[in-house]
Amino acid sequence: MDNGPDHLGELPEPANRAAPAYPIASVDNTLRILLLLRDRGTLTLADVAAELEIVRSSAHRLMAMLTYYDFVRQSPVDKSFRMGPALIDIGLTAARTLDIRALARPILAKLAESTGMTAHLVLPRGRDVLFADGVESRRTIRAALRTGTTLPAHVTSAGKALLATLTDQELRRLYGRKPPEALTDKSASSVSALLREMAKVRRDGYAINRGESETGVLAMGVACIIPEADVHAGLGVSGPESTMDDDWECRIAAALHEAATEFGKQVQSYHL
């Protein structure tokens, strides 16, 4: 089975893929440099010019731009180039995300089965959250998967749970210049409203989204903060509000806390 960028496993080598219809030479050369660094560890300017079949002045301009953005660093001794902190951070983030998805998948499946709701793993992205993975409910009437979608954190249940781990001062700093925007008439649209909501989330130990991201959808989420592994994630479940019974809140909260505890154990064991 072919693996795409949203699957675990290795991607086919570029030589075995169809070339883009409209390639951009400068982008192609830059990405080839990064692949060369992956394979060799270090490169000289002469290496870059030879491998890309370009003149040294063009190679110098490419490496200068990569250096500017911290994708590469140049040795002051022999003038060779190696991976820079930006490239290393991207690699670590990608690896950590893939690891988390693999660890969360069976927990999401169990959560979807036990609650009858669609379950998601979310990861923070500034003021937004990324729906990194999910397992859809088997019910005929259900909430759809949002895997790969990014939404403002303050309109999602797991996103709100993550925001609630910040202090009020940190939240004011995060939203001070640009207040939260409402996606529906139920979304918070001011810093004061957000702070009140965060206080409630901290008291309850979970967050609820009642039609704040999509009308008619009810969701609950919890934060999963694992300092030992530097993991900040959230687990959430969602479904049509019309299908929820009177005791749904207590029942779903218990299932989410159990799932979060198991997820924490799995992550800690993996990073030992």
Q: Alpha-carbon distance 145 to 9, whole Å? A: 22
Say whether both 106 and 227 belong to one domain: yes
Handedness of CA 113, 115, 119, 122 (dihedral sign): negative
Least confident interval from 98-102, 257-261, 265-269:
98-102
CATH of the domain at 70: 1.10.10.10
- The pLDDT score that the predictor gives to residue 148 is 87
Say whether both 112 and 26 belong to one domain: no
Say whether both 27 and 55 belong to one domain: yes
3-state SS, residue 183: coil
Number of domains in the chain: 2
Q: Average of pLDDT values for 38-56?
A: 93
pTM score over 0.85: no
Q: 215 lies in a domain? A: yes
CATH of the domain at 264: 3.30.450.40
In the listed set 40, 64, 83, which residue is the last one of a domain according to the structure? Answer: 83
Angle, helices 45-52/56-68, rounded to nearest 10 degrees: 120
Q: Which token pair is 132? A: 């990194």
Q: Alpha-carbon distance 22 to 31, whole Å? A: 15
pLDDT in tens, 100-137: 888 999 999 999 999 999 999 999 988 999 999 999 99
Give residue 1's pLDDT band: very low, low, confident or very high (50, 70, 90): very low
**Which domain range does residue 21 map to?**
14-83
Give residue 9's pLDDT band: very low, low, confident or very high (50, 70, 90): very low
Q: Average of pLDDT values for 53-58?
A: 94
